[in-house]
Structure 1
Amino acid sequence: MRCRRMCQDVVFMFLCVILLTESSEQTADSMTTTDPKQYIRQSQDLCSGEQQYVQDRKHVVLEAFNRLGINCTLECVPHVALLASGGGQRAAVSLLGSVSQMAAEDLLDTVLYLGGVSGSTWSMASLYSDPMWSRDTMATVAGMQGSGVELAEVVSWLEKRAKEEHFSLTDIWAVITAAGIMKQMDVRCLSEEASRNATNPYPVYSAIEKYCFSQGLTNGSWFEWTPHEAGFTELGLFVETSHLGSNFQAGELMQRKPEMDMVKLQGILGSAVADEAVLKGLLPPWMTALGNDDDSIARDYMRVYHIVDKLVALMRNRMQDPVILTNLDDLQEALQAKVNYNESELLKSMSPEEKKELFQNRTVELIRILEVWCQGLPDGPFKMYVSWLIKHVIPLIVKWEWGTVGNYLYQHPDPAVPSCLHSKERINLMDAGLLVNVGYPPFLGDKRDIDLIIAPEYSAGDIFETLTLARDYAHKVNKPFPEIDDKILDEKDWPKDCYVFQGEQNQPTIIYMPLFNRKNCKDAEEVKARMEEFSTFQKGFNQGEMEFLMETAGTNMKNNKDTILTELKRAVQRRQDKTNS
């Protein structure tokens, strides 16, 4: 009996080992082939990587509060986000002034998150190229004021992108912003920051998806990027940042593709010119008088001019040879003369078909001016680079495709995925400032549970528009947002330098700080003049202009330090109340 029982025990143990082995093999197989959760995370909570970073960052924040004399414990460290608006190079430069002054006032280390859209993301990308940037913000400033990137490096980067499957105008815009404005070709990838320590605030970049945006689908529009994950904010569907751009189907990774670098990312995040409405605003006065039907024809013409003009400016900033500089000046003059030549009287007598043909001919003439100019250049590397650009860029302008990225939600089984995302193998990401020109959406609600938002405002146009648009967005997605008294809209032409919108219960408090205001402009006319002087779409600022913007933004921070400290103390109390409840 004893022997039989021992034999039964041995057989039972053997069977268990076999079953466990088969089970582990099946689990391993499922993890490597079929389980969509391995690649796509569905949740409105933080991923584990961001949770860990934030927890580590709180120790840095706690030390900063102690240095400022604000009583706080680790459990009561408030969630503070610095959200910079868009605004082209004006925003990129002004953000550097804001963070530099915050560092000087010992306020920067109180910030848990740094979020940006459009132009502010350009300087964010440059800042984070240095793992210790919050300890020396002026290194990025020095880079923007330096000699910049050689044209050979620009063309070399573009040549590599041109060999990829989806080479688009985003790649061209990327080098215009990275090399032309930030003067840095940062070829690292965002996911590389996932392993960093918590010296700096956690970065959150924002974009929007073109087709969901055009169809008014709020849930599928806003797209956020962090070092750990990227995905649609309101859908709560995220993929590891290193996997974004790879080929997916029904939640499965079909083909791994290289992650885009920071140059390409900057091109996507600041691509407002990709939108037809923005392009319309760049038309010369005589074209804007044509009417909606006719100026749509003119926009095709202006597409070519605007991109070529930016590329000429980029080349000019890279050159020192006086002969080449003269050649570039001649080209710009020829292009501007062609576009600014008023043909409105001629167009009045034309049919729609004749107008269309006229502008098609004018587009061909613009391209021909460029080709003839290139042929007249002396043989050498510069002519070779220009020839390559003409050959590859002009077809992209005609196609007018931007921000094409592999769609990780292609045929994803979740019914909440909009059809325009579910049915397309590629998505088109572009400038989030076209929807809301401050990156509020990722910071609303329970996910990041923000107590205080510091919002330096660098936008053009209606100065309070970002607030009202964010309020309306929050209402649509049922997220908390503080009350905005419409009476302040009367101050939009000549705003104060600081407003505080107190959050109640789970609403964040917002400290809102317009760049040009009553403290630095004597009246509304001066505010308007400053915005025109530092307009969003213009050639690069010189050193004096950059220093003026950084000083203006920095002074705003300095003047309102007491307000910020007051709201930081309140944020600690709010966090303590949340913890106790």
Structure 2
Amino acid sequence: TNTTLSLQEESALSLLTVKVVQAAHIPWADLMSNADCYVCLWLPSCTNKTVQTRTISNTSDPVWNETFQFTLCNNVKNVLHLMLHDEDVITKNDLLYTLTFDVGKIPIGETKLETFRLNPSGPETLQVQFTVQEFKGYCEKILTNGVIVAREMTCLDICVDKQRIPENLKGKRLTLVVEDSCEKKSKLELSPCTGVADHMQTCRFHYVTRWDPKLTADLEGTDQQNIQIIPVRSLHMGQEQKILISPVPARPLEMKLKTKDCTEKLNVRMGFSLCDDEKLYLSKRKKIVANTLKKLLNLDRDLEAHEVPVIAVTTTGGGVRAMTSLYGTLSGLKKLNLLDCVTYITGASGSTWSMSKLYEDPNWSQKDLSPHIQDACRSVTKSKMSAFTFERLGFYREELSTRAKMGYKTSFTDLWGLIIESMFYDGVNDAKLSDQKKALAHGQNPLPLCLAMNVKANECSTLDYKEWCEFSPYEVGLLKYGAFIRSEDFGSEFFMGRRTKPLPESRICYMQGLWSNIFSINLMDAWYAAVSSENFWHCFTRDAVHELDDDEEALRKRRLSSSDLSTRLVEPPSNFNRKMREILTNRPLDGSHHNFTKGLQMHKEYSTHEGFCTFDDTKLDNSPNNLTPFTEELCLVDSAYYINASFPPLLREDRKVDVLLSFDYGLSDKFKSVERTKKYCSDQNLCFPNVEVSEEEKANPKECYAFQNCGNPKCPTIVHFPLVNDTFKRFKHPGVERLTDQEKEEGIVQLDGRSPYRLLNPTYSKEDFDKLINLTEYNVENNEKMILEALRQAITCKQTCKPRDYGTEMH
């Protein structure tokens, strides 16, 4: 069992009163009249609903003096959106301006009148009065890791007895809406009872306890004035209450309602440390690594726990090329007796395909890898046309339809996963990600970690918004928020940290489709991949945002409390820009999944928490209402959209990796993966060695490079292997020259031009497969000395430096 590392806090509650006073100098909306203005208020930490003022017609200086109230949880980041609209009877209402205001700036017990500038260079203003009052004697217990917050939650259960449905209502539909809930809407078909076990129809709504939801019950055929609206707070907690609904008073429909506190423990682990299962694995693996290093390096004594280096293998994507190359890499490490020194293996895209197959064998690294390589050869060299027959397409359709009925989010990514399964497996593969825990039970294999990125489906390019999502046999987690769930629970529905609809764990093929989701691309990503620049298109895809807190007093307060967010003015895009954004950022083949952080809210000091990893170019990090916990779905794509590498899971501080064996399976730009990772680490203040390669070496790269940690014990040493054919052309084994014509032919591996290993080629000849296996195996074996030297230096560094707190001991 993994402990939840979140802390319980007592959060005071406050009452926020917002009085929308007036606006001034609003420009004409059309040629015929002044604007017809109204203001919408959106505060999603307090309600799902958007509330609005009345419309003031035909004036540039509308006056409302309307008041709205919200119940605040003080330990949550409460950011209010104020949106000024122009109402239009004929066409769609125009959004004129959007303001975001951090309510935490208003001290409790004070009233503040704010006049917001709506145009940095014009006279337009909006005047709003804020009052925050303490709810004395009321508080709320929350759970938080300092970035995300789980609040108290309540369930509303609704039940209809089919045996008591009046004849005149059978076959009709009952629509139930609780807007301030996770589910929002549910529909019950009032079908006849078919048996004793089938006589109850139920549904459940989950909502934040401190909210004030209302249940709307709309029975088909009922007049609009007879729709039932029931304040949920009027129900007595834990007591069943009957409600009668009917178009005919003499024959009503009976509905039973009951509310109860959701006291279940969180199913989301909130914390930035490693889970207990991984810590236990590390204590077992460390002993194996220590014994192996002693023999391999001829050490004169056993290593103490703090002297054992953490060694990791990290790989890139590249489709079948990456899948094949990883087999060769691991074979080379196996022949050098280095596999038992490795604690982690990370994969991205195609390299995860071979990892998934290997970990079906609980003892794969303890065995000869030849049978695994022969099996891979058979699947890589066979024709892939069978994956696209009418019979197979029918199977895909039926499989995806079944998943959708079960409640999974389905997308093209799932179809791609089924195609991968058909191409590289003989039939349906029932293996699951959590099954790989058997391969870790005794620390007998390296721990596999796979990587994806969470992006915005239709709003931003990948470079403008991205978050790392890590997959292990133990957990799936969004690193930025310190939010993790059991790997078995990925795909289930969650709200406020609790699993609200459990679903069976998906087969591994669906994970493979997700990890290699190269198809969820938009035009912005394609443009960047082609020319490495998005600058021209940013005017269409990024909002025009202006910081309004530029006076001395506001700046002084922000310096005293850096968690306060500045007030921002967001200019809505023109119709042309809006259409361009839709074209450039839409992902027609996205990969949507249930969001396990759904409903969780942002802590009031989330932006200053050291665990909250952000990207410099991700502007939405300062707009908490647009972050992942407030979205319905995850959109997970191949990490190669940003860095074609799998370094990030190994850079988590608690993993304390000392040596990274980096294998880049790209056909061009052999150092791009490490150079981009270096830039990422510089932006994040993470330790990563300098990557210095001359232009001459980039043009003619060697087989192996060592990028040293320069004496910083927290900085890993990188031993980098580009995919090159250097000395392999002359040597079939290290030190054994090629003599015959056949041997020389076997040394010709075409890695450029019309290479057989290009990304979109799923089928190799046996000759090409063998060449790539032999090349990647040779490149490892031929650089044994460099690898062993890196291991010796890592041990020396750990022996001479102050021990780091590893948290696990060898048992």
Question: For 1:88, which of 293, 315, 319 is the aligned residue?
Answer: 319
Q: 1:426 and 1:33, CA in 2 relative to 1: closer, same or farther beyond 3 A?
A: farther
RMSD of aligned residue pairs (Cα, Å): 3.3
Output one character per residue of 1:325-344: Cα deviation in whole Å (capped at 9) or x when no partner. Answer: xxxxxxxxxxxxxxxxxxxx
1:41 partnered with 2:269: yes
1:414 partnered with 2:645: no
Whole-angstrom CA distance in 1 between matches of 2:434 and 2:397: 22
Give the superposition deviation at 1:248: 1.1
Question: For 2:359, which of 118, 123, 128 is the aligned residue?
Answer: 128
Whole-angstrom CA distance in 2 between matches of 1:155 and 1:493: 48
Q: 1:153 and 1:244, CA in 2 relative to 1: closer, same or farther beyond 3 A?
A: same
Output one character per residue of 1:437-494: Cα deviation in whole Å (capped at 9) or x when no partner. Answer: 1111111142200000001110233211111110111122221111122x43442232
Q: Which residue of 1 aligns with 2:287?
A: 59
Aligned positions of 1:60-459 closer than 5 A = 60-71=288-299, 72-75=302-305, 76-134=307-365, 135-146=367-378, 156=395, 159-165=398-404, 166-181=409-424, 185-195=428-438, 196-211=441-456, 214=461, 216=463, 221-276=467-522, 400-415=588-603, 416=606, 419-459=626-666
Question: For 1:507, which of 715, 719, 723 is the aligned residue?
Answer: 715
Whole-angstrom CA distance in 1 between matches of 2:765 and 2:750: 20
Q: 1:137 and 1:410, CA in 2 relative to 1: closer, same or farther beyond 3 A?
A: same
Output one character per residue of 1:172-206: Cα deviation in whole Å (capped at 9) or x when no partner. Answer: 21133233146674322111223533211001000
The one-letter amino acid of 2:724's match is F
Give the superposition deviation at 1:217: 5.8
Work out whether residues 521 and 587 of structure 2, in 8 Å CA contact, stay in contact via their aligned partners in 1: no
Q: Which residue of 1 aligns with 2:703?
A: 497
Output one character per residue of 1:478-530: Cα deviation in whole Å (capped at 9) or x when no partner. Answer: 21111122x434422321111000013111100001111433469xx987626
Work out whether residues 346 and 646 of structure 2, in 8 Å CA contact, stay in contact via their aligned partners in 1: yes
Higher strand share: 2
Partner secondary structure for residue 721 of structure 2? strand
Whole-angstrom CA distance in 1 between matches of 2:683 and 2:261: 38
Work out whether residues 192 and 227 of structure 1, in 8 Å CA contact, stay in contact via their aligned partners in 2: yes
Q: 1:265 and 1:526, CA in 2 relative to 1: closer, same or farther beyond 3 A?
A: closer
The one-letter amino acid of 2:277's match is G
Work out whether residues 81 and 450 of structure 1, in 8 Å CA contact, stay in contact via their aligned partners in 2: yes
Partner secondary structure for residue 467 of structure 1? helix
Give the superposition deviation at 1:407: 0.3
Give the superposition deviation at 1:275: 1.7
Work out whether residues 490 and 505 of structure 2, in 8 Å CA contact, stay in contact via their aligned partners in 1: yes
- What TM-score do you get using the length of structure 2 for normalisation? 0.50
- What TM-score do you get using the length of structure 1 for normalisation? 0.69
Work out whether residues 497 and 556 of structure 1, in 8 Å CA contact, stay in contact via their aligned partners in 2: yes
Give the superposition deviation at 1:252: 2.0
Give the superposition deviation at 1:60: 1.7
Q: 1:210 and 1:138, CA in 2 relative to 1: closer, same or farther beyond 3 A?
A: farther
1:482 partnered with 2:689: yes
Work out whether residues 234 and 477 of structure 1, in 8 Å CA contact, stay in contact via their aligned partners in 2: no
Aligned residues: 437
Whole-angstrom CA distance in 1 between matches of 2:667 and 2:462: 25
Partner secondary structure for residue 330 of structure 2? helix
Q: Highest CA radius of gyration, 1 or 2?
A: 2
Give the superposition deviation at 1:65: 1.1
Give the superposition deviation at 1:235: 2.5
Whole-angstrom CA distance in 2 between matches of 1:453 and 1:277: 34
Instruction: Say which structure, 1 or 2, has more relative contact order (CA 8 Å, 6+ apart).
Output: 1
Whole-angstrom CA distance in 2 between matches of 1:532 and 1:457: 17
The one-letter amino acid of 1:488's match is S
Work out whether residues 143 and 182 of structure 1, in 8 Å CA contact, stay in contact via their aligned partners in 2: no
Whole-angstrom CA distance in 2 between matches of 1:458 and 1:542: 19
1:574 partnered with 2:797: yes
Q: 1:412 and 1:491, CA in 2 relative to 1: closer, same or farther beyond 3 A?
A: same
The one-letter amino acid of 1:115's match is T
Which piece of structure 1 moves more, 271-280 or 195-204?
271-280
Gaps of 5+ in 1: 1-28, 286-291, 294-397
Q: 1:159 and 1:436, CA in 2 relative to 1: closer, same or farther beyond 3 A?
A: same
